[in-house]
Amino acid sequence: MVQHQERTSGDIAAHFPEVTRPAISQHLKVLEDAGLLAMRKEGTKRLYQAVPERLADLKRYLEAFWDDRLQLLAREAETEERRSSIPDDQRN
């Protein structure tokens, strides 16, 4: 919603009629504190837009996270496979 354009908190809230205004503000504040959204005030309005560099950082982090986890999974699974392929009488 805010990737390519600024939107006001009210405009964002209008897309989520089942969420209260205070709760929307809380979510936006968390994303802003995390640096994923940039906020500027204009009168009583708060305008939000995504921060592409930070989103790219997050994307890289998540990809690296899963790369690491998947490598670990592969290693563990291979170890398990070798262990179970050794016949019982040859185990120490």
Nearest to 50 by CA among 61, 63, 39: 39
Largest CA distance in the chain: 79
Cα–Cα distances in angstroms (integers) from residue 46 to residues 15, 23, 39, in the given order: 16, 15, 7
Q: Does 8 bind another protein (CB under 8 A)?
A: yes
Does 18 contact another protein by CB under 8 A?
yes
Q: Which stretch binds another protein (CB under 8 A): 37-45, 48-56, 64-72, 84-92?
A: 37-45
The correct pick among 44, 84, 90, 92 for binding another protein (CB under 8 A) is: 44
Nearer to another protein, 18 or 53 (CB): 18
